[in-house]
Copies of this chain bind each other. A is one copy, B any other.
Amino acid sequence: MDSAVPALALRDIACHFPARGNPGGTYTAVRDSTITIAPGEFVSIVGPTGCGKSTLLNVASGLLKPSQGTVEVFGQKLTGINRQAGYMFQADALMPWRTALENVVVGPEFAGMDRAQADRLGRDWMARVGLAGFEKAYPHHLSGGMRKRVALAQMLIMDPKVILMDEPFSALDVQTRQLMENELLDLWQADRKSVMFITHDLEEAIALSDRVIALAAGPGTHPIGEFAIDLPRPRDVAEIRHLEEFSRLHAQIWEALKEEVLKGYAQGKR
């Protein structure tokens, strides 16, 4: 799994934010975090809510400058935006003034692709995420799950080398989610991209990943455990859950996380 040059390396990252209600003070969301992802590796990040997963992804995308530490992309130190990466945001990030199809083709359009060709590609992707027929709907005419799928298509159409995903499937029903997961795995398999995947669904994390990283509860989040998932590939996400190895891994990661969550919650309860 290790490779000489990682596709993505977060080294010794710390992120301090201005503290709420305490002018001048800071809140340390992330600290001492080192995460490397090899080319072609699929890594999932799990951790209690509010611990700093999205913050790490923002750092990896180059959108957020860490207070400390460096990011490397294929060995190059990252300074601006991470141009190798596609990022599917946790929040709604579609452009409300564009229809679903227009949103999907934004990337190719920016890259200067011919209008007709981009359209064809966009329609193709709309169908792949199960939204054929909704091309002309504006985002606010779509359901929450549909918007997520538009965002998915918008990111994947760019065919990025590094994929950053923040809870991409949490708004989908189980069945649709499995379809999308398989779609993602197919794509990843076809031309091994590097994926950094955030999820709250442990089963999803195990089913998809080569490695699962568990984070501690905030403040001062940092990785507390890494779990290599050596389940056979190619996988079908619906069936792999029935393997015994799967249950073992699930229990193992669950154990590691449980304490953290309770810790975080206890803090939150004061």
Chain A positions near chain B (C-beta within 8 angstroms): 17, 20-22, 46-54, 90-92, 99, 127-138, 141-146, 149, 167, 170-177, 179, 200-202, 254, 257-258, 261-262, 264-265, 267-270
A146-B50, A202-B174 in contact; A179/B130 too (CB < 8 A)? no
17 additional contacts (CB under 8 A) given A49-B143, A91-B144: A21-B136, A21-B137, A49-B171, A50-B145, A54-B143, A54-B144, A127-B269, A127-B270, A128-B269, A130-B265, A130-B269, A132-B269, A132-B270, A133-B268, A173-B257, A176-B264, A176-B265
Contacts of A136 in B (CB 8 A): 20-22
Bound-state CA distance A20–B175 (Å) is 26
* Smallest CB separation, A160 vs chain B (Å): 22
Bound-state CA distance A151–B17 (Å) is 23
**Can you tell how many copies of this chain the complex includes?**
2
Bound-state CA distance A171–B269 (Å) is 19
Q: Which residue of chain B lies nearest to A137 when distances are taken between CB atoms in the complex?
A: B20
Bound-state CA distance A212–B214 (Å) is 33
The residue that A173 contacts in the complex, of B49, B92, B144, B173, with Cβ under 8 A, is: B49
Do the beta carbons of B201 and A50 come within 8 Å of each other?
Answer: no
A17-B141, A54-B144, A143-B54 in contact; A267/B133 too (CB < 8 A)? yes
Q: Which residue of chain B lies nearest to A270 when distances are taken between CB atoms in the complex?
A: B132
Interface of A, secondary structure class, is loop
Do the beta carbons of A173 and B261 come within 8 Å of each other?
Answer: yes
* Smallest CB separation, A179 vs chain B (Å): 6
Q: Which residue of chain B lies nearest to A21 when distances are taken between CB atoms in the complex?
A: B136
The residue that A200 contacts in the complex, of B90, B174, B179, B269, with Cβ under 8 A, is: B174
Do the beta carbons of A179 and B47 come within 8 Å of each other?
Answer: no
The residue that A130 contacts in the complex, of B132, B149, B172, B268, with Cβ under 8 A, is: B268
Contacts of A141 in B (CB 8 A): 17, 20
Do the beta carbons of B91 and A175 come within 8 Å of each other?
Answer: no
Contacts of A143 in B (CB 8 A): 49-54
Contacts of A133 in B (CB 8 A): 267-268, 270
A135-B21, A138-B20, A141-B17 in contact; A170/B173 too (CB < 8 A)? no
Bound-state CA distance A174–B227 (Å) is 18
